[in-house]
Amino acid sequence: MSDVKRYTRIVGTGDGGSKFEDAEIHLTEQQVADGVPPMFVGGLSSSAGVVFLRSAEFDSDPHPAPREQWVVMLRGAIEVEVSDGTRRRFEPGDLVLVTDTTGRGHITFAVGDPPLEALFVPKA
């Protein structure tokens, strides 16, 4: 049996801006350890240097990502605005793959009750 986890990519555009793209991670049911029921598993390409982030506020100026990275929302919520003015909200359990490492980048706004907590996982 298989399933998917939907996520959002933030990518750079040819004009130096950014935009959203919808994507999916394909999950397969696997036995991950003896004595544990089968679970749906999908890989996130990553490298060393996972960062746990906690912040009471996270409003930013326009900025490109410091590196290609996964953002795994754990607590709180953010809204991200790309260069065409489109905004999306991300909450606990959401995945975002940020790849706009050049140009104007995107703007991030904290929404909801602080603190915001997330994992930043560098992409391999």
Strand partners, 81: 87, 107
* pLDDT computed for residue 1 by the predictor: 56
Give the span between the Cα atoms of 55 and 105, in whole angstroms. 21
Strand partners, 79: 89, 109
User: Burial level of 38, CB count in 10 A (0-12/13-18/19+)?
Assistant: exposed
Average pLDDT for the chain = 89
Domains of the chain: 2-122 (2.60.120.10)
* pLDDT computed for residue 82 by the predictor: 96
- Under the banding of pLDDT at 50, 70 and 90, the label for residue 12 is very high
pLDDT digits (tens, 9 = 90+) for 52-88: 888 877 788 899 999 999 999 999 999 999 999 999 9
Residue in 40, 45, 48 with CA at minimum distance from that of residue 70: 45
Strand partners, 73: 118
